[in-house]
Amino acid sequence: MRVAGRLGSVAAGLALILGALLPGVGPSAEAAETAETAEAPETAEAPETAENTAAAALPTSFQWRSGNILISPKSDATHNIAAVKDPTVVYAGGRWHVFASTANSNGAYSMVYLNFTDWSQAASAQHHYLDQTPIGAGYKAAPQVFYFAPQGLWYLVYQVGDNAAYSTTTNIANPASWSAPKRFYANGMPQIIRDNIGSGYWVDFWNVCDAAKCYLFSSDDNGHLYRSETTLANFPNGFTNTVIALQDSNKYRLWEAANIYKLQGSNQYLLLNEAIGGNGRRYFRSWTSTSLTGTWTPLADTESNPFARSNNVTFDGTPWTDDVSHGEMIRSGTDQTLTINPCRLQYLYQGLNPSATGNYNTLPWRLGLLTQTNSTC
């Protein structure tokens, strides 16, 4: 997710939206705690038990299916929306909760929230614009949502142009309940990022925690993935010790939009990072590690063997995008560990009409869903 005001035509469309989920796909309503309470939500129902997934390994190559566009912009009297992008999603209280960036016809960014019980309802769900809440107007983008169990609070993490920020609530279903933004980095951009960002942008903040610490990852559109840390007890304060977690001499191969997840039933983590291919289109590379601070081992990380790219996605009908861009994996739970079921990979992503051109900030991004078709489980 680039900072507002950055221009340029990018053929990269984030698209690959794997149409609505089939009946029975996705966590059951019975398995989630109500979204209206501050109690820790239960893990959404998964098709495999932890015992079964413990032995499950991710494949070394991936195949996906995608349907048509699920979520498109909805303008109103005060919001002339050109794009909806950068989604984050959780399942709680029997509903899917989606937060995303919006870009208006002038290229100005804000955020939107919607919820629904079934993906077939996503297109008709009401859009709640978060600039009408205590989050406020002005540049806000690239949200990430999770439930921080130690505090009994939902957190929404997002970028505000010069920093990472967060808001909290006890009720994810009430968009008006989010608190005003607070910044993570009291002293602004860490020095190591200043030293390496070049002409890039500090974007796409992603928080994930283990049993002892929380780690805030970020990108710079210049070939670097950064990681800061704080203790679980001190979160959301005290992020420090910022380091380069991963880098590439070709900045387009390690561009932005990183996701990091815990694999259910194992000690492994999965890292996804958006790249721009030789054809100018967006796709995702992947790595694994046994620690959030460990070495990241390539999994499917090339244009010929990507995690998700137009060449390993089969569309239902005519492909509507050549890009698979900034998105979020469907998680098996909601908490700060960001756990996913390796037997049931689905990815909510942004895509783009291949013929679209113009200013990056007004390109007509839409949201779709990918479902893995070659699970090893």
Yes or no: say if 257 and 247 are a contact pair by the CB < 8 Å rule.
no
User: What's the pLDDT at 321?
Assistant: 99
With cut-offs at 50, 70 and 90, classify the pLDDT of residue 2. Answer: low
Amino acid at residue number 138: G
Q: How many CB atoms lie within 10 A of CB 306?
A: 22
What is the DSSP-derived secondary structure letter of residue 159? Answer: E
Helix (H, G, I), strand (E, B) or coil at 50: helix
Report the C-alpha gap between 258 and 271 in whole angstroms. 7
pLDDT at 306: 99
Whole-angstrom distance, CA of residue 178 vs CA of residue 165: 13
Containing H/E element for 373?
A: none
pLDDT tens for residues 66-82? 999 999 999 999 999 99
Q: How far apart are the first and last CA of the chain?
A: 33
Q: Answer for the pair 110, 73: CB distance below 8 angstroms, yes or no.
A: no
Dihedral sign, CA of 200, 269, 371, 109?
negative
Least confident of 31-40, 104-113, 141-150, 284-293: 31-40
Compute the distance between CA of residue 342 and CA of residue 261 in angstroms, rounded to an integer. Answer: 10
- Please, which pLDDT band fits residue 1 given cuts at 50, 70 and 90? low
Q: Mean pLDDT across the chain, nearest whole number? A: 89
CA atoms of 326 and 306, how far apart (whole Å): 15
Could you tell me which CATH number the domain at 29-372 has? 2.115.10.20
Look at residue 273 and tell me whether its pLDDT is greater than 50: yes
Rounded CA separation 13/143 (Å) = 19
Would you call the peptide bond into 319 cis, given omega within 30 degrees of 0 as the criterion? no
Query: Could you read off the pLDDT of 352-363 as tens digits, one per residue?
Result: 999 999 999 999
**Residue that is written with structure tokens 């390993």 in the block:** 312
User: Which residue ranges make up each domain of the chain?
Assistant: 29-372
CA distance 352 to 361: 12
**Count of Cβ atoms closer than 10 Å to residue 196 Cβ:** 15
